[in-house]
A and B are shown apart, each in its own frame.
Chain A
Amino acid sequence: MEFVLEINTEEMPLPHVKAALQQLKRNFEDELVSQDLVDKKKRPGKIETFGTCRRLIVYGDLIACQRNKEEIIVGPPKSVAFAPDGSPSPAVMGFARSQGVKVDSLEVVSNKKGDYIAVKKIQKGRPAQDVLPQVVPDIINRLSFPKMMRWGTNDFKFSRPIRYVFCILDGKPLSFKVNGISTINFTTGHKLYFPASIKVKSFQEYRRQLKKNKVLIEEKTRKARIMNHIEKKLEPLEAQCYPDEKLLDKLATDVEYPYVFLGAFPKKYLKLPIEILSTAMREGQNLLSVVKGKKQLPVFLGVTDACNDAKGFVSKGNERVLKARLEDARFFWEQDSKIPLKERAENLSQIVFQERLGSYKEKSERIKKIALYLVSKLDAGKKKQEVREAAELCKADLLTEMVREFPSLQGKVGGIYARKEKYPLAVWKAIYEHYQPASLDDPSPASLTGAILAVCDKLDSIVGVLGLEIEISGSKDPFGLRRNAQGICSIVLDKKLDFPFPLLLDKVIKVYEDNLKKNRSELKEICLEFFKNRLEYIFSHLGFRYDLIKAVLSSGVDNIYNIFLKLKALDSLKDNLKFRTLILTAKRVNNILRGQPKYKVNQDLLIEKEERELYTTYSIIRDNVRPLFLSGDFSKAQRIVLTIGSSIDNFFDNVLVMAEDKRIKRNRLALLQQVSKLFSQIANYSEVVIEGEKD
């Protein structure tokens, strides 16, 4: 039975639409499965959601009516139910009375404890049309958006004002109220061009009618249409659209029926770098840049909402607005060129980074010190000069008109200006890239110098802000510390930066001297804990199993890149049978050792053959894996460690650890401590969960 729901609203931003569709799908599925209106087994695909900036749509293929449910109420045991003459006992009559049934209709059921008198009641399933009006309003009420608003005289909060709610079940209107808004029995086409009401009986018809009235409900279809039209427009030019997935996603949701138009701008603006051109086009007007090969063309693409621009007004209008923006950008470009970056960098003392943490001048001084330290830890001595130069200049663009106009271009503008001023490639690239990655999907800096600069800039902010005891909580992160920490971790993993993280942290804390509120050791602990949480988040985002993540992080954060390699080593072996056995053995070892003080192995006290053998195997393995640990080849190390398995098993089978002779007992514990230490160099195996294992 078909269910169609449309919540029609004023224009919602893309992240709101995405968030709502996800919640609608999940909540409808959960609720309707629990209401017995969607078959669990056929669950996938039974609820579908669609959305535009003006509508959230839910389509479901539902069961028409809940099944009847049989309920058994158990009464007194059969043994006391009847008198010898077969007449019902008072207990049974009482039971029948309390259930409102006649004694005749009682039955006998058997369970573990024996036979009992019982009554079977049938709870009648309710039809979908009765259930839905009760559950749907609640699902809509529970929707949450990144930012919510009120309107009119309503206390209710939503993304944007709701215009109407349309709902049909099996072709018939379904009426209910959502916070005072009654459902209506029709939908409407495109708001500007086809506002008349449309009545439909099925989802197919709904989709078809809306398409006719300039609304394509599928995001995919709208996007494909945009791509297709772009291709057609660009074919004669033999040019391509400069890729911008984010903008395309936005456009595909911002419009209900896309048309693409092409416009041009005066060639003289081509002197501006492509980043600035494309930002000027994207921000404000949502226009796409066009390139031929790597060359920018003096044209742009735009997407309209259901308007085919028959008279060319849309394209002309956009050209006019864009020209004004580019003229501004050109003006800034020329103004900015008058003062070299170096001079600007001197003036950074005028801009405050954070009141207690000083100016951007001080920040870039700190970045320089930290970055030079990191260079020495990474054995990248050759990079010293360029790191120094880039660090000094990296914040200078904050004082340019261009960044004031296009804040999203910070860093990039500095890099472009440094390029213009003929700084070496490594220097301008590093400046250009040092805000990267802006999110988990954004790439890390490509150059090593850029990576070093980015890590140090971010770490400086994190330590400074945490050092001031500024609280970071669920929604409160004014300095984007979590994003910064994730950025650092991504860079370390992407660029394989192999260095002891706590040492770098010490350096950053030291560079702040005593300008922070928190004392040094406490601050270090807080920072390490903060990074541990971020690493957990990133690793699980990368798809690693949670227990493996915990296993490699259980001893805290040291060399971040090594932690990642260890995790990969564990992950590659997680289904290996030998590994699983080893984990169980390791857990056994750890259990025995729990609470024991540290002992030393005395070889002369190894009397049994199996313990001598274990010691020998252990020694060989230890010597073999040591260089592997140092070189970071944890996969190979892990495989070699695996070979200890049979020796331990033999040991446990034939040797009693808790021997009566205290000296021997301690010696055996010492041996196991050595083995356990070997394991812990990779991970805390006790954290690894083996399927079917009993706790």
Chain B
Amino acid sequence: MSIQNLIMNLQKYWTDQGCYLAQSYDMEVGAGTMTPDTFFRVLDKKPWRVAYVQPSRRPTDGRYGENPHRVQKHFQYQVIIKPSPSDIQQLFIQSLATLGIDLKYHDLRFDEDNWESPTIGAWGVGWQVLLDGLEITQFTYFQQAGGIETFPVPVEITYGLERLEMFLEGKDDIYDLQWSDDVSYRDLRIEEEREFSEFNFNHADIKSLQKKFSLTSEEAGKLIEKNLLFPAYDMCLKSSHLFNLLDSRGAVGVTERVKKIAQIRNLVTKIAQKYTSREGSY
């Protein structure tokens, strides 16, 4: 099964479970959790079901296309359901079965792993799901987002598409994966990985990143004042990615790190508070 078939299978499966099929968010994010389809929607009281593929960028994970497992951009398959259904684990296990995984011959484990993202003031309780020792999914009951207690409680299922595909194809090298029958992951991605690794580690201009960081975070603050919460949140996402680039350039000291993360979190927390206090969202 190629990656695109894997995606189509998951799309079919989760839309059958009543999920709305969102399209990937058009900005650099570190994880599917950070897009508005998750971040805003877990905050309010309304039921919500969504599934989508999200390209996720982690500049420090770049390996110039030379490491068979680490890449600075990978693809997540994100599912959010609120409130969490009582049979959600069963639904997840069935999704694996629809991918042709016969669990009779494999070891499936839910191993404690409590996810948190200090940048967006979020944490949850759950597991990393291991299939024959390979982490294929992060499974989390959100307890807090934007510093606000989530209720009803959303559940998040994040499949690592490349990981899962490596399992399905039994391959040791990410670049050997088939995106489609005649296009490989190597064809699509290796040059991009090389160039972005160069950029992330050696060429991203530190001064300009720092300048952009202060611009976007300042603008986020102003937009919050004007109650333009979605644009404000976009500015936070931009700031977060700029911060990650600064980090991969080795330009963030320890105290600086704590400070910048706190800066973004404060903005995000304000957005969350304003959003939940809006009429109709509750």
Q: A residues touching B (Cβ–Cβ < 8 Å)?
A: 10-11, 13, 147, 149-155, 160-161, 163, 191-193, 254, 284-287, 302, 304-305, 307, 309-311, 313-314, 316-318, 320-324, 327-328, 350-352, 355
Q: Mark B136-174, 1 if CB is under 8 A from A, else 0.
A: 000001010000000111010000000000010010100
Q: Report the separation of the CA atoms of residues A339 and B53 in the bound assembly, to the nearest whole angstrom.
A: 41
Check B118 for interface membership: any CB of A closer than 8 A: no
Given the complex, which residues of A lie within 8 Å of B135, measured CB to CB?
284
Q: Report the separation of the CA atoms of residues A10 and B129 in the bound assembly, to the nearest whole angstrom.
A: 13
Query: CB-nearest residue of chain B relative to A150?
Result: B153
Beyond A163-B86, A309-B107, A317-B106, whether A322 also contacts B141 by CB under 8 A is no
User: Are B130 and A285 neighbours in the complex by a CB distance under 8 Å?
Assistant: yes
User: Are A314 and B106 neighbours in the complex by a CB distance under 8 Å?
Assistant: yes
Output the least CB separation between B201 and chain A (Å). 14
User: Are A161 and B86 neighbours in the complex by a CB distance under 8 Å?
Assistant: yes
User: Are B130 and A351 neighbours in the complex by a CB distance under 8 Å?
Assistant: no
11 chain-A/chain-B pairs, Cβ below 8 angstroms:
A151-B83, A151-B84, A154-B153, A155-B151, A193-B104, A286-B111, A307-B103, A310-B105, A318-B132, A318-B133, A328-B69
Q: Report the separation of the CA atoms of residues A304 and B105 in the bound assembly, to the nearest whole angstrom.
A: 11
Q: Report the separation of the CA atoms of residues A286 and B133 in the bound assembly, to the nearest whole angstrom.
A: 8
User: Are A321 and B125 neighbours in the complex by a CB distance under 8 Å?
Assistant: no
Q: Report the separation of the CA atoms of residues A261 and B255 in the bound assembly, to the nearest whole angstrom.
A: 46
Check B110 for interface membership: any CB of A closer than 8 A: yes
Beyond A150-B143, A150-B151, A152-B84, whether A305 also contacts B133 by CB under 8 A is no
Given the complex, which residues of B lie within 8 Å of A191, measured CB to CB?
89
Given the complex, which residues of A lie within 8 Å of B134, measured CB to CB?
317, 320-321
Query: CB-nearest residue of chain A relative to B172?
Result: A320
Q: Mark B102-130, 1 if CB is under 8 A from A, else 0.
A: 01111111111010000000001101001
Given the complex, which residues of B lie within 8 Å of A327, measured CB to CB?
68
Contact partner of B125 (CB less than 8 A), chosen from A154, A160, A287, is A160
Q: Mark B244-258, 1 if CB is under 8 A from A, else 0.
A: 000000000111000
Given the complex, which residues of B lie within 8 Å of A10, measured CB to CB?
89, 110
User: Are B133 and A317 neighbours in the complex by a CB distance under 8 Å?
Assistant: yes
Check B18 for interface membership: any CB of A closer than 8 A: no
Check B206 for interface membership: any CB of A closer than 8 A: no
Q: Is the interface of B mostly helix, strand, loop or mixed?
A: mixed
Q: Report the separation of the CA atoms of residues A323 and B155 in the bound assembly, to the nearest whole angstrom.
A: 32
Q: Report the separation of the CA atoms of residues A192 and B134 in the bound assembly, to the nearest whole angstrom.
A: 18
Given the complex, which residues of A lie within 8 Å of B107, measured CB to CB?
302, 304-305, 307, 309, 314, 317
Given the complex, which residues of A lie within 8 Å of B106, measured CB to CB?
307, 313-314, 317
Query: CB-nearest residue of chain A relative to B47?
Result: A153
Q: List the 7 closest A-B pairs by CB distance, nearest first.
A: A317-B132, A318-B133, A149-B125, A13-B112, A11-B110, A304-B107, A352-B254
Q: Report the separation of the CA atoms of residues A323 and B172 in the bound assembly, to the nearest whole angstrom.
A: 9
Beyond A150-B151, A160-B125, A307-B106, whether A324 also contacts B143 by CB under 8 A is no
Tally B residues with Cβ within 8 Å of A: 40
Beyond A152-B152, A163-B86, whether A192 also contacts B108 by CB under 8 A is yes
User: Are A192 and B103 neighbours in the complex by a CB distance under 8 Å?
Assistant: yes
Beyond A152-B84, A285-B130, A324-B68, whether A192 also contacts B93 by CB under 8 A is yes
Given the complex, which residues of B lie within 8 Å of A317, measured CB to CB?
106-107, 131-134, 167
Known: A284-B133, A355-B255. 10 other contacts (CB 8 A): A10-B110, A11-B127, A151-B83, A151-B153, A152-B83, A304-B107, A305-B109, A317-B131, A323-B172, A352-B255
Given the complex, which residues of A lie within 8 Å of B114, measured CB to CB?
147
Beyond A161-B141, A350-B253, whether A313 also contacts B125 by CB under 8 A is no
Given the complex, which residues of A lie within 8 Å of B105, measured CB to CB?
307, 309-311, 313-314
User: Are A152 and B153 neighbours in the complex by a CB distance under 8 Å?
Assistant: yes
User: Are A151 and B141 neighbours in the complex by a CB distance under 8 Å?
Assistant: yes
Q: Report the separation of the CA atoms of residues A286 and B107 in the bound assembly, to the nearest whole angstrom.
A: 13
Given the complex, which residues of B lie within 8 Å of A316, measured CB to CB?
132
Q: Report the separation of the CA atoms of residues A284 and B112 in the bound assembly, to the nearest whole angstrom.
A: 10
Point out which of B104, B109, B141, B172 has the most chain A C-beta atoms below 10 A from its C-beta.
B109
Q: Report the separation of the CA atoms of residues A322 and B93 in the bound assembly, to the nearest whole angstrom.
A: 24
Q: Report the separation of the CA atoms of residues A309 and B105 in the bound assembly, to the nearest whole angstrom.
A: 6
Check B36 for interface membership: any CB of A closer than 8 A: no
Output the least CB separation between B197 and chain A (Å). 15
Check B231 for interface membership: any CB of A closer than 8 A: no
User: Are A149 and B127 neighbours in the complex by a CB distance under 8 Å?
Assistant: no
Contact partner of B104 (CB less than 8 A), chosen from A151, A307, A320, A351, is A307
User: Are B133 and A254 neighbours in the complex by a CB distance under 8 Å?
Assistant: no
User: Are A313 and B86 neighbours in the complex by a CB distance under 8 Å?
Assistant: no
Query: CB-nearest residue of chain A relative to B150?
Result: A150
Query: CB-nearest residue of chain A relative to B149?
Result: A150
User: Are A153 and B152 neighbours in the complex by a CB distance under 8 Å?
Assistant: yes
Q: Report the separation of the CA atoms of residues A285 and B107 in the bound assembly, to the nearest whole angstrom.
A: 11
Q: Report the separation of the CA atoms of residues A324 and B36 in the bound assembly, to the nearest whole angstrom.
A: 34
Query: CB-nearest residue of chain B relative to A192?
Result: B103
Output the least CB separation between B89 and chain A (Å). 6
Contact partner of A302 (CB less than 8 A), chosen from B127, B133, B167, is B133
Q: Report the separation of the CA atoms of residues A302 and B83 in the bound assembly, to the nearest whole angstrom.
A: 36
Query: CB-nearest residue of chain B relative to A315?
Result: B132
Q: Report the separation of the CA atoms of residues A127 and B105 in the bound assembly, to the nearest whole angstrom.
A: 49
Q: Report the separation of the CA atoms of residues A322 and B167 in the bound assembly, to the nearest whole angstrom.
A: 13
Given the complex, which residues of A lie within 8 Å of B254, measured CB to CB?
350-352
Output the least CB separation between B129 and chain A (Å). 10
Given the complex, which residues of B lie within 8 Å of A305, measured CB to CB?
107-109
User: Are A254 and B131 neighbours in the complex by a CB distance under 8 Å?
Assistant: no
Contact partner of B143 (CB less than 8 A), chosen from A149, A350, A351, is A149
Given the complex, which residues of A lie within 8 Å of B104, measured CB to CB?
193, 307, 310
Contact partner of A147 (CB less than 8 A), chosen from B84, B125, B130, B153, is B125
Given the complex, which residues of A lie within 8 Å of B131, measured CB to CB?
317
Output the least CB separation between B282 and chain A (Å). 15
Given the complex, which residues of B lie within 8 Å of A322, measured CB to CB?
133
Output the least CB separation between B251 and chain A (Å). 12
Given the complex, which residues of B lie within 8 Å of A355, measured CB to CB?
255
Given the complex, which residues of B lie within 8 Å of A350, measured CB to CB?
253-254
Output the least CB separation between A226 and chain B (Å). 14
Q: Report the separation of the CA atoms of residues A192 and B94 in the bound assembly, to the nearest whole angstrom.
A: 10
Query: CB-nearest residue of chain B relative to A320?
Result: B172
Query: CB-nearest residue of chain A relative to B250?
Result: A350
Query: CB-nearest residue of chain B relative to A303?
Result: B107
Output the least CB separation between A189 and chain B (Å). 14
Q: Report the separation of the CA atoms of residues A161 and B93 in the bound assembly, to the nearest whole angstrom.
A: 16
Q: Report the separation of the CA atoms of residues A305 and B141 in the bound assembly, to the nearest whole angstrom.
A: 23
Given the complex, which residues of A lie within 8 Å of B68, measured CB to CB?
324, 327
User: Are A149 and B141 neighbours in the complex by a CB distance under 8 Å?
Assistant: yes
Point out which of A151, A304, A310, A351 has the most chain B C-beta atoms below 10 A from its C-beta.
A151
Q: Report the separation of the CA atoms of residues A13 and B114 in the bound assembly, to the nearest whole angstrom.
A: 11
Q: Report the separation of the CA atoms of residues A193 and B97 in the bound assembly, to the nearest whole angstrom.
A: 13
Beyond A313-B132, A317-B132, whether A161 also contacts B111 by CB under 8 A is no
Given the complex, which residues of B lie within 8 Å of A314, measured CB to CB?
105-107, 132-133
Residues 20-76 of B at the A interface (beta carbon under 8 Å): 68-69
Given the complex, which residues of B lie within 8 Å of A302, measured CB to CB?
107, 133
Given the complex, which residues of A lie within 8 Å of B172, measured CB to CB?
320, 323-324
Output the least CB separation between A255 and chain B (Å). 8
Output the least CB separation between B117 and chain A (Å). 17
Q: Report the separation of the CA atoms of residues A314 and B132 in the bound assembly, to the nearest whole angstrom.
A: 5
Output the least CB separation between B112 and chain A (Å). 4
Given the complex, which residues of A lie within 8 Å of B83, measured CB to CB?
151-153
Output the least CB separation between A311 and chain B (Å). 5
Query: CB-nearest residue of chain A relative to B89?
Result: A10
Q: Report the separation of the CA atoms of residues A153 and B141 in the bound assembly, to the nearest whole angstrom.
A: 12
User: Are A321 and B86 neighbours in the complex by a CB distance under 8 Å?
Assistant: no
Given the complex, which residues of A lie within 8 Å of B132, measured CB to CB?
313-314, 316-318, 321
